[in-house]
Structure 1
């Protein structure tokens, strides 16, 4: 049984390990290093931040938001990041995390969630689509990977019902 709860600083060691798995896969992020807790903490909204935990209390996934802009008019627009421990994929945990984030983000006044996904990350694309995100754009060679390869990114968006 998986439960969802707010992320605490004490969760960061496991969150960092899961993030490293995403970096190592080369399918989740352009980043090449896991940030320090301080950098991670400053780069993401304080609320909501969620972790999925198993029956033993082990963190098996996390989901966080980053503001898209500091301008007041965009205060309800955030980029969503979701990562699962590879040992827990394919069990519906991502969907549970995503649905809870959607609920909590709307309660917090977020009206638009965005995500940029590498086209090769079919599981993430499918998850976003199942959770009501729609493709809004495709950028060719948007960023350069550490190995010098330029990667394409597909953008997805989910609009809240709070804006009609």
Structure 2
């Protein structure tokens, strides 16, 4: 798929011809709303359990999640039956006005939907909505071991800008007690702030 389709109304439908793992041929990307939260929370918890997605030890409740992530910067991907396959959301990096156009994103895909292009569709939707909202920088912080996420982000224009060494200590999962590095990537808008 080339280019980023514009987001219209509250949902966009991308039709994919064939998926390598026999998945659904159509994926709908829509605004992440409270009704999606049980599935989103489950996907988030699955990612947390891997120890490769975040320093968080458990998902927040809906109110805390929604409070930090503007509605226009959060999306879900669903199959033809309405099953949530993944989600993406971004939050402002600072309340200071000078950083009004800088956000940090997170993207999670259910393991059963891995390799089907769901993460790419979600990030493309976020990029489109961020550009429409005047965002000039999208940041991502990814563990170096999460090579699939690093590759996906780089394919969509995110560039590594540094490594934050021993940024935090894991409190859970297979890396509990270990200090972890984080690679900082950013995607700068080609039209906003250039």
Provide the rounded CA distance (Å) in 2 between the counterparts of 1:44 and 1:132: 22
Q: What residue number does 2:108 align with? A: 83
Contact 2:32–2:71, Cα closer than 8 Å, also in 1: no
Residue aligned with 1:151, SS: strand
Contact 2:78–2:84, Cα closer than 8 Å, also in 1: yes
Contact 2:34–2:62, Cα closer than 8 Å, also in 1: yes
Provide the rounded CA distance (Å) in 2 between the counterparts of 1:48 and 1:154: 22
**Cα deviations across residues 72-112 of structure 1 (Å, max 9, x unaligned)?**
01000000110000100101111111111101111011110
CA RMSD of aligned residues (A): 0.7
1:46 Cα deviation from its structure 2 partner: 2.3
Q: What residue number does 1:38 align with? A: 63
Which of 95, 99, 105 matches 2:120?
Answer: 95
Q: What residue number does 1:163 align with? A: 193
1:48 Cα deviation from its structure 2 partner: 2.1
Q: What residue number does 2:14 align with? A: none
Q: What residue number does 1:63 align with? A: 88
Q: What residue number does 1:2 align with? A: 27
Residue aligned with 2:71, SS: coil
1:42 Cα deviation from its structure 2 partner: 1.2
Provide the rounded CA distance (Å) in 2 between the counterparts of 1:34 and 1:148: 19
Gaps of 5+ in 1: none
Q: How does 1:12-161 map to 2 (within 5 A)?
A: 12-146=37-171, 147-161=176-190
Provide the rounded CA distance (Å) in 2 between the counterparts of 1:6 and 1:46: 7
Provide the rounded CA distance (Å) in 2 between the counterparts of 1:126 and 1:58: 26
Show structure 1 runs of 4+ deviating over 6 A. none
1:14 Cα deviation from its structure 2 partner: 0.3
Gaps of 5+ in 2: 1-25
